[in-house]
Amino acid sequence: MKKLQLLKQIDKLSSLLHSDDLQEFNFTAGTIREMQQKLDRLTEEYIECYC
């Protein structure tokens, strides 16, 4: 179950960060950087646990 939750979180965050609409959300550069860092952490966790 944890694996599927991680994948869903990674997918949602990745979709948002790579969306053409990202600029429309008016996120600050700091917020975008924090989201990218969170995506990196989730991805690393997934790799450590399941690869």
pLDDT, position 18: 92
Domain span at residue 11 reads 2-50
pLDDT, position 1: 75
pLDDT, position 5: 96
Q: How far apart are CA 49 and CA 22, in angstroms?
A: 30
pLDDT, position 25: 87
Please give the tally of structural domains in the chain: 1
From first to last of its 51 residues, the chain has per-residue pLDDT tens of 799 999 999 999 999 999 988 888 888 999 999 999 999 999 999 999 998
Of 5, 6, 14, whose CA–CA distance to 45 is shortest?
A: 6
Q: How far apart are CA 23 and CA 30, in angstroms?
A: 13
pLDDT, position 3: 93
Q: Which helix (H) or strand (E) holds 2?
A: helix 2-17
> Which residues 6+ apart lie within 8 Å of 2 measured at CB?
49
pLDDT, position 2: 92
